[in-house]
Structure 1
Amino acid sequence: MKLFDVYPLYNITPVKAKDVYVYDDAGTQYLDLYGGHAVISIGHAQEHYVQKIQEQVATLGFYSNAIQNPLQVELAEKLGALSGCDDYNLFLCNSGAEANENALKVASFKTGNARVIAFKNAFHGRTSAAVATTDNPKINAPINAQQKVTFLELGDLEAVKTELEKGDVCAVILEFIQGVGGLDEGTAEFYEGVDKLCKANGVFLIADEVQSGYGRTGKFFAFQTYNVTPDVISMAKGMGNGFPIGGILTHPSIEASHGMLGTTFGGNHLACAAGIAVLDVLKSENLMQHVDEISAYFKEKVAEIPQVKLIKGRGLMLGMEFDFEVAELRKKLIYDHHIFTGSANNKKLLRILPPLTVQKEHIDTFFNALKTILS
């Protein structure tokens, strides 16, 4: 049997990793400034994380959601305390796409409507409704066209108002920093205006924090920069530091009912152990403050690279925009300098999404390599 060939692959085979470094089968060390799509939050093979998972899998790795699971309660309590969203309720699932599916489903259940407002260049996942709200025709199959989605320009508050006043919208879903799209952001006026319009029209505001959450922007969630109150918050990537886990936080005004949502694997014992460990380390190592410090240093270093036309994003969710496409630059960084970076829909943008444990010396290594290549 062969693998279904859907991924263009670099010729690198990682076999182990530690903190911000990945090692291939030839023993080559790579500096990881991409974190596997922003998934690695507290560093590869972090000691407390490994210990928690080992202890849990040796005790009880899985049982269904038909029984009591105190680990889910512990995860919810720690997540609420660290995020500042302790009045929300937690539903656990397995991925970011699944989180957004459930967020959209709750919105549709509660409003009785089916149409969704999303924004151009958005990415919300690859499944059913989540992919329909993703602005990429190449990954939308004909079956996804049954979903009712209207795409608007990010920042066009008047268009949002016009659409919401039609009375058939269940949710507005948005990234407060677009990830795959290329680190674009709206203004405070726009985001806060969308929040007010949603509330005035009985429409759910869904904050997609799948990539930007868990301290990556320096705040626990990216929306917390603004005066907004999402009805639902979706999470995944950094939540498990590589272990598959996702979830949604629902506003306390949203009443649950048995059977409304469900999952076999979501919130299993092993996933909860991973999620708890991540929260423990985020808190004990004060990683959100560290993110702010490293981000400021990174932006200082960018000033030394005249070829960078624009620095985008916040915290350690960053993009460097050039006046040329960066595919060859990424290849040289990987193969010549052994540094992982990321791409975006914007072909001129280099994405930087390292583990939150990255240090100034690692940033120096990256900029020295960049200067060598660009010279």
Structure 2
Amino acid sequence: MSLFDVYPLFDITPVKAKDVFVYDKNGIEYLDLYGGHAVISIGHSHPEYVSSLSNQLNHIGFYSNSIQNPLQVELAQDIETLSGCKDYQLFLCNSGAEANENALKLASFQTGKSKVIAFKNGFHGRTSAAVAATDNAKIIAPINAQQEVERFELGDLKGVENALAKNDVCAIIIETIQGIGGLDEVSTEFFKGLEALSKKYNTMLIADEIQCGFGRTGDFFAFQKHGITPDIISMAKGMGNGFPIGGILIHPSIKASYGLLGTTFGGNHLACAASLAVLKVLRCENLMENAKTVSNYFAEKAKAIPQIKAVKGRGLMLGLEFDFPIADLRKDLIYKHHIFTGSAKNPNLLRILPPLTIQKKHVDLFFEALKKAL
């Protein structure tokens, strides 16, 4: 049996990883500045993470959500403490797409409406409503296209209000900082405008923090910079450091009922153990502060390279914008200089999404290689 050929693959086979480095089957060491799509938050094979999962597996790895699981309660408490999002409710699932799917479903239940407002260059997942809200026609199948989605330019508050005035919108979904779309972020004024409009027109405001959440920007959630209170916050990627886990935080004004949402694997014992380890390391190693420190250092180093036209993003969710397509540059970095980086919908943007444990010395390695590659 062959694999379903949907991924363009680099000819590299990792067999081991430690902190910010990955090692292939030939023993070659690669500096990981991509973290597998921003998933690796506390570094590969962190001892606290390995210990937490190993210990949990020795007790119980899985049971369904038909029984008590105190680890879920502990995880909810730790997220509240570290994020400062008081009194929200936690629903756990398995991925970012599933998180956004549940967020949109819950918004529709809550408002009795079905239309979604999303934004150009946004990416929210590959499942039914989530992919319909994603700005990529190539991955939206006819069965997904039946979802009602209206898409606006980032910053178009007037267009959003005109759509909301029809009173058929259940949710506004927005990435606080766009990931694959190219690291774009709008102003605080725009976010506050969306918040006000969502209240005015009985619409749920969903902050998609799948990629930019869990400490990656230096704040626990990227939206917190803007001083808003979303109705629903979706999260995943860095939440489990590689173990599949996602979730939504739900404002206390939204009431639960039995059967409203559900999942077989979501919030299982191993997933909770993984996320609890992530939160412990984020706190004990001050990784959110490290994200800010290293980010500032990165931006200073970038100033010395004239080919870089802009540094986009915040914290350790960064993009280097050039005035030429970066596809060949990215290949040179991985094959000649052994550094993983990422691409974006913007063909001129090189994405940098390293583990939050990265140090200045690793940034130096990258810029030395980048100068040679350029």
| TM class, shorter-length | over 0.9
Q: Does the CA-based 8 Å contact 1:77-1:86 persist in structure 2?
A: no
Partner-residue secondary structure (3-state), 1:55: helix
1:270 partnered with 2:256: no
Offset, 1:227: 2.0
Partner-residue secondary structure (3-state), 1:144: coil
Give the Cα separation in 1 of the matches to 2:27 and 2:86.
44
1:66 partnered with 2:66: yes
The match for 1:49 is: 49
Give the Cα separation in 2 of the matches to 1:223 and 1:338.
34
Q: Does the CA-based 8 Å contact 1:219-1:288 persist in structure 2?
A: yes
The match for 1:24 is: 24
Which ranges of structure 1 fall in alignment gaps of 5 or more residues? none
The match for 1:372 is: 372
The match for 1:239 is: 239
Offset, 1:86: 2.8
The match for 1:123 is: 123
The match for 1:94 is: 94
Partner-residue secondary structure (3-state), 1:362: helix
Partner-residue secondary structure (3-state), 1:311: strand
Give the Cα separation in 2 of the matches to 1:183 and 1:166.
31
The match for 1:8 is: 8
Give the Cα separation in 2 of the matches to 1:107 and 1:264.
21
The match for 1:172 is: 172
The match for 2:230 is: 230
Amino acid at match of 1:192: K
The match for 1:312 is: 312
Give the Cα separation in 2 of the matches to 1:190 and 1:262.
33
The match for 2:335 is: 335
> For each residue in 1:156-206, what CA deviation from the matched residue of structure 2 results, as whole angstroms up to 9, or x when unmatched?
011111111110000000011000100011111111111111011110000
Amino acid at match of 1:245: I
Partner-residue secondary structure (3-state), 1:87: coil
Give the Cα separation in 2 of the matches to 1:56 and 1:334.
36
Offset, 1:373: 1.2
Which ranges of structure 2 fall in alignment gaps of 5 or more residues? none
The match for 2:103 is: 103
Offset, 1:58: 1.2
> For each residue in 1:82-122, what CA deviation from the matched residue of structure 2 results, as whole angstroms up to 9, or x when unmatched?
01113100000000000000000000001000000000000
Give the Cα separation in 1 of the matches to 2:309 and 2:287.
29
> For each residue in 1:245-301, what CA deviation from the matched residue of structure 2 results, as whole angstroms up to 9, or x when unmatched?
000000011000000000000000000000100000000001111110000000000
Offset, 1:324: 0.3
Partner-residue secondary structure (3-state), 2:282: helix
The match for 1:288 is: 288
Give the Cα separation in 2 of the matches to 1:328 and 1:341.
12
Q: Does the CA-based 8 Å contact 1:330-1:342 persist in structure 2?
A: yes
The match for 2:217 is: 217
Give the Cα separation in 2 of the matches to 1:167 and 1:35.
41
Amino acid at match of 2:67: I
Displaced runs of 4 or more, over 6 A: none
Give the Cα separation in 2 of the matches to 1:44 and 1:236.
17
Give the Cα separation in 1 of the matches to 2:119 and 2:85.
25
Give the Cα separation in 1 of the matches to 2:17 and 2:373.
26
Give the Cα separation in 2 of the matches to 1:54 and 1:304.
45
1:352 partnered with 2:317: no
Offset, 1:322: 0.2
Q: Does the CA-based 8 Å contact 1:119-1:151 persist in structure 2?
A: yes
Partner-residue secondary structure (3-state), 1:146: coil
The match for 1:181 is: 181
> TM-score, normalised on structure 1?
0.99
Partner-residue secondary structure (3-state), 1:105: helix
Q: How does 1:158-169 map to 2 (within 5 A)?
A: 158-169=158-169
**Which segment drifts farther, 102-111 or 186-195?**
186-195
Give the Cα separation in 1 of the matches to 2:52 and 2:189.
43
Amino acid at match of 1:373: A
Give the Cα separation in 1 of the matches to 2:94 and 2:45.
20
Identity %, equivalent residues? 69
Q: Does the CA-based 8 Å contact 1:79-1:86 persist in structure 2?
A: no
Amino acid at match of 1:190: F
1:206 partnered with 2:210: no
Partner-residue secondary structure (3-state), 1:370: helix
Give the Cα separation in 1 of the matches to 2:137 and 2:298.
34
> TM-score, normalised on structure 2?
1.00
> For each residue in 1:125-161, what CA deviation from the matched residue of structure 2 results, as whole angstroms up to 9, or x when unmatched?
0010000000000100010011000000111011111
The match for 2:139 is: 139
Superposition RMSD in Å: 0.5
Give the Cα separation in 1 of the matches to 2:86 and 2:176.
21
> For each residue in 1:211-265, what CA deviation from the matched residue of structure 2 results, as whole angstroms up to 9, or x when unmatched?
0000100100010000211000000000000000000000011000000000000
Give the Cα separation in 2 of the matches to 1:174 and 1:104.
12
